């Protein structure tokens, strides 16, 4: 066995390689290299391979003050209409229709049923359907198609 090592054949410590790979995961590094004399081990990960590490959090209560969008919408609407306010459960991008060019799910004056999709909020490439909590008439829409939205931001009023 020593003859093989002396002739240039490298013995790889698989346990060490696995430990280094685990260290990459634990520290969010993309590369680790260790040297021991003339032996060198480098463990690297492509930056794109780390993307699955990030997961969409469940609707976490984030203390974000939705000031800018409601204030801008408040300028367009003289007062908050009476009814049930539908708020964004997550941070993302609001879409008023299923695809570009399609009719919106709901618009001011349209009738909706409880459980019916009224818009979509995309978060991390996941389309989250936002459903009407009650049946009624859409009295106000506070977002534009493709507009970024914050957690708990007012989206629609249904009466």
**Confidence bin at 60 (pLDDT 50/70/90):** very low
pLDDT band at 10, cuts 50/70/90?
low
Q: Which CATH number fits domain 68-158: 1.10.10.60, 2.40.50.100, 3.10.560.10, 3.90.1150.10?
A: 2.40.50.100
DSSP 86-152: EE-SSSEEEESSSSTTSPPS--TT-EE-TT-EEEEEEETTEEEEEEPSS-EEEEEE---TT-EE-TT
Task: Please report the pLDDT score of residue 33 as a whole number.
Answer: 77
The CATH 2.40.50.100 domain(s) of the chain lie at: 68-158
- Residue 75, pLDDT > 60, answer no
- pLDDT beyond 70 at 104: yes
Confidence (pLDDT) at 152: 92
**Separation of alpha carbons 19 and 38, rounded Å:** 20
* Residue scoring higher pLDDT (128 or 70): 128
């Amino acid at each position: 066995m020593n003859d093989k090592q002396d002739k240039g054949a490298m013995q790889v410590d698989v346990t060490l390689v696995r430990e280094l790979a685990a260290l990459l995961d634990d520290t969010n590094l993309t590369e680790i290299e260790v040297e021991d004399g003339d032996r060198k081990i480098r463990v690297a990960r492509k930056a794109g391979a780390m993307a699955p590490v990030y997961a969409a959090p469940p609707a976490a209560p984030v203390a974000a003050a939705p000031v800018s969008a409601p204030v801008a919408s408040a300028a367009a609407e003289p007062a908050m209409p009476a009814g049930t306010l539908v708020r964004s459960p997550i941070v993302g991008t609001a879409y008023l229709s299923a695809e570009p060019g399609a009719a919106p799910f709901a618009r001011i004056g349209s009738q909706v049923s409880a459980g019916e999709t009224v818009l979509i909020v995309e978060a991390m490439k996941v389309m989250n359907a936002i459903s009407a909590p009650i049946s009624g008439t859409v009295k106000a829409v506070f977002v534009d198609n493709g507009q970024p939205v914050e957690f708990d931001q007012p989206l629609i009023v249904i009466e």
